[in-house]
Homo-oligomer: A and B are copies of this chain.
Amino acid sequence: MLIGEKKIERPFRWGIVGGGRTSGVGYKHRLGAMRDNTSFVLKAAAFDLDFQRCVDFGKNLCMDEDRLYPDYKAMFEAEAKREDGIEAVDIATPNFQHFEVCKAALEAGLHVICEKPLFFEIEQGEEIKRISEKTGKIVCVTYGFSGFDLLTQMRHMILSGDIGEVTMVDLRYAHGFGCDPTGDTQAEGQKWRVDPKKSGPSFVLGDLSTHTFYISELVCPQLKLKQVLCDRQSFIRSRAPLEDNAYVLMRYESGAVGRMWASAVNAGDMSSQHIRIVGTKASLEWNDMHPDELHYEVQGKPAQTLVRAMDYLSDDALEYERLGALHYTGLIDSWSNLYNRFAVAMDAKNRGDEQTRRNLVYPDLEHGIKGIRWVTKCVESADKGGVWVDFE
């Protein structure tokens, strides 16, 4: 159980690129990172392309004005000169900038936390990997839903054989907030997502399904994806070639199969992310609207609902638990758990403690690259007319 006590000697000095006043996700990064003030402390930021807005915003967060910067280059340069300069940086910009900022950050000797989808191309991922290995700094990816305790429990139960052999992986991240195309031209946070130059080769596959795909890897680490088949649509025509809806079928090496439904036009849905893992004996189901409940359905037995923080959970599902039974958590608790692990991973890296880092379960650069591969292969399949393509 966590109660806010430090897990590392002292919190990392930490900066942000992007994630300013008009960014919803930036606040999630700050809340996740600074929950306990013992993992990260926010010291510097280049929040915004509009420098005045950056300064206003940073001052309103009670930050030092002289550590608010017009852009990431200025920040990395100035911070590098300070004795108390930042040690880690968060990239919360639109997708198309991830690669260049990440590269620059690593080269500036910073650990990186980056938004998903990581980059546009698998090759970019490989390049960053080489740089990361060279500089000895790590890259963490904010699959922000993946820190919920019950996903840890799900992984534990699947690896323990509680559902038998996995036969099916049913994934969904499908909401309806893109039904109204007004936001495509008018909302800051939406505009760039439907612009291939800024968003990359996909809309919902990258923006949504990479989260859920990562969760499937988190809970079923033993599965290897063999082939995918994707059919994608642009129900709002102006979004073409980017899809606002996609169906994917999966085939795994083990013989297991799977499905993904990614959508921004699933009108009215408010419980967007659903994950059902079916095994030969039982199934596990979880959704992000009620993240503290895990449904365990053994064939022929009464269905069970496991609840966060209860003694019957596995030790690792309780390790990051903070609030106790009957006190339910939300998305920020998941982000906090992730950021806490990022800090531990960075600290272990700094100390050369590879064992700690290897035992730590968190979305790292490999997972980020796998996400790029996922998008790339789905788009390839769809563009060929919805045919099976090899994943690796």
Task: Let me know if A281 is at the binding interface, CB within 8 A.
Answer: yes
Closest B residue, CB atoms, query A244? B167
The minimal Cβ–Cβ distance linking A37 to chain B, given in whole angstroms, is 6
Binds B, one of A54-62, A342-350, A351-359: A54-62
Copies in the complex: 4
Closest B residue, CB atoms, query A172? B170
Closest B residue, CB atoms, query A62? B38
CB distance B305 to A302 under 8 Å? Answer: yes
Task: Let me know if A129 is at the binding interface, CB within 8 A.
Answer: no
Contact with B along A279-298 (1 / 0, CB 8 A): 11111000011111000111
Q: A304-B304, A310-B300, A388-B385 are in contact. Are A324 and B24 (CB under 8 A)?
A: yes
Task: Let me know if A5 is at the binding interface, CB within 8 A.
Answer: yes
Number of chain A residues whose Cβ lies closer than 8 Å to a Cβ of chain B:
94
Task: Let me know if A330 is at the binding interface, CB within 8 A.
Answer: yes
The residue from B11, B28, B60, B268 contacting A282, defined by CB atoms under 8 A apart: B268
Pick the most buried of A4, A21, A249, A324: most chain B CB atoms within 10 A of its CB: A4
CB distance A272 to B332 under 8 Å? Answer: no
Closest 10 CB pairs of A and B: A268-B297, A330-B330, A5-B60, A329-B330, A302-B304, A267-B299, A176-B299, A179-B299, A327-B331, A268-B283
**Interface residue ranges, A against B (CB under 8 Å):** 3-6, 10-11, 21, 24, 26-28, 30-31, 34-38, 57, 60-62, 163-164, 167-168, 170, 175-177, 179-180, 229, 231, 233, 235, 245, 247, 249, 251, 255, 257, 259, 261, 263, 265-270, 272, 278-283, 288-292, 296-307, 310-312, 322-333, 385-388
